[in-house]
Amino acid sequence: MNKKIIFITGATGGMGKATAIALAKMSHTVVIHGRDDGKAKEAVNEIKSASGNPNIDYVTGDLYMMSDIKTIAQKLKAKYDHLDVLINNAGGIMDKKREVTQDGFEKTLALNVLAPFLLTRLLIGHLKKSEQGRIVSVSSDAHSLGAKPDFDDIEMTRRYDPMTAYGNAKLYVIWLSQLLAAELAKCQSNVTTNTLHPGAVKTSFGSGSNLGWFYNIFSKLARPFLKTPEQGAKTAIYLASAPEVSGVTGMYYVNKKVSKTSAKYYSPVNMTRVWEYCYLSTKKWVDAE
């Protein structure tokens, strides 16, 4: 197996760190992302110790801030001459009260959609330098269970609900991956892009969010029945490393198998509207490259 350079967002804990450890055990060079420098250094040491692999690196930045995402990409491109795998793992559910980032974007959309969209755009050139670049993005079954998008109000300024916002975001992640896969195929690119549902995983994900009394109680009751981070990471690890998915693109995976996505809101027009919204929202951080 060829050794890869792999970058994983949100990998200082939970499923991201479990993914990093497993890929490090395969002797790949693994670069993790975190928001806090101290926590990132601690995670690097843990991954090195657990895997016996010294080739573990990190970059820090706030994925709620588009300027930080640009800096992350610049650091990676300065240090590595190519990138084999980008794993867009970071994500989250927000509070019941709608909030915006410093850039003015609704937080659920910013973290789950705009951050991986911009990061992918900034790193696509480095992925094309790989023998077979792969983009792996964590979505969720919430795209079929909770999504109720308003394509005239993508940032939910009128009727905000945290679970709907999260479901919408995970639907958009799938659509953006499918559209990117089609565009890359047109130019016979060596880069593939796929999405996955990891299952309900027992991590700190969503634990700091106030979703209202019902969701807060339900999430606490459900925790004993959730997957471990190691179990949840299996499909991401598979898509990042398995030779049998080489050349496979535009798919959605559950338990390491291709699965159907919800067609409820699908149309080429709706997909294009989401793409254009993300493209225009992040454009100035790409143009300034």
pLDDT in tens, 134-155: 999 999 988 988 899 999 999 9
Could you count the other beta carbons within 10 Å of the beta carbon of residue 13?
A: 17
Structural domains counted in the chain: 1
The catalytic position among 166, 172, 238, 277 is: 166
- Say yes or no to pLDDT of 218 above 50: no
Tell me if 36 sits within 8 A of 11, measured CB to CB: no
Which DSSP string corresponds to 12-24? SSHHHHHHHHHHH
Could you count the other beta carbons within 10 Å of the beta carbon of residue 127?
A: 24
Torsion of CA 187, 192, 193, 199, to 10 degrees: 160
- Say yes or no to pLDDT of 90 above 60: yes
- Say yes or no to pLDDT of 201 above 80: no
Burial class (CB in 10 A: 0-12, 13-18, 19+), 287: exposed
**DSSP single-letter state for residue 100:** B
The rounded distance, in Å, linking the Cα atoms of 233 and 20 is 9
Tell me if 6 sits within 8 A of 240, measured CB to CB: yes
Q: Tell me what the mean pLDDT of segment 119-127 comes to.
A: 97
Tell me the residue range of the domain where 79 lies.
5-287
Question: Whose CA is closest to 94, among 154, 162, 160?
Answer: 162
Torsion of CA 45, 92, 245, 29, to 10 degrees: -20
Question: Whose CA is closest to 210, among 92, 35, 111, 103?
Answer: 92
The CATH number given to whatever domain includes residue 133 is 3.40.50.720
More confident residue, 198 or 178: 178
| Residue 277 bears catalytic tag | no
Burial class (CB in 10 A: 0-12, 13-18, 19+), 289: exposed
pLDDT band at 289 (very low <50, low <70, confident <90, very high): low
pLDDT recorded at residue 211: 53
